[in-house]
Amino acid sequence: MAGSERDWRYIGHLLACRSGSLCEGCGKPLVPGARELSIHHRQPRGMGGTDRSEAHFLSNLLLLCAGSTRRLAGVAGCHGAVEAYRENAERRGLLVRHGLDPAAEPVTLASGRRVLLADDGPFYLPPADGPLYGNLGLAR
C-alpha cells in the first residue's frame, strides 16, 4: 500500500491542508497537483536503515516548491535549495540527521515561526521549548 500513487495523492492533500497550500520553505502559494510542487523527505530514505513506512510519516515530509522546470541534475525552488545548501537546511530543520527523530526536530517556516510537525494529522505543534499558546498570542 505504501508508496502507491493513491497514497502520494493523499499525503500531498494532507500536506496542503497543513501548510494552507503554501511552500513550507518560502511561503509561496502552490497549486495542488501542479508540477512545481514537491514532497521533500527531511530525513532521506535509503540511508541509515530508515524503514519505508517511517519515512512517510508526516513529520518527515515537507511540501516544497520545486520551480517550474525540473532539471536533469536535480530540482529548482526550495527543494533544490535544500539539496544545494544542506547546512542551512539542517539549521532550519528542513533536513534532519539520521539518528534523530523528525517529529522531535522543529522546523522554521517562512514566517519565522518554529513548529514541530505532527505525525497523526495535518497540523503544526509548538516546539518542546516554546510556549504552548505562544503562536496564538494567548497568555498563560
List of residues contacting Zn ion (CB under 5 A): 23, 25-26, 28, 65, 78
CA distances from 64 to 37, 54, 98 (A): 6, 20, 21
6 or 71: CB nearest Zn ion: 71
35 or 98: CB nearest Zn ion: 35
89 or 116: CB nearest Zn ion: 89
110 or 118: CB nearest Zn ion: 110
How many Cα atoms sit within 13 Å of 70 on the Cβ side? 5
From the CB of 81, what's the least distance to Zn ion, in Å?
Answer: 8
From the CB of 91, what's the least distance to Zn ion, in Å?
Answer: 17
From the CB of 118, what's the least distance to Zn ion, in Å?
Answer: 21
Q: Are 94 and 82 in contact (CB under 8 A)?
A: yes
Rounded CA-CA distance 56/52 in Å is: 7
DSSP symbol at 60: G
C-alpha cell at 65: 516548491
From the CB of 51, what's the least distance to Zn ion, in Å?
Answer: 28
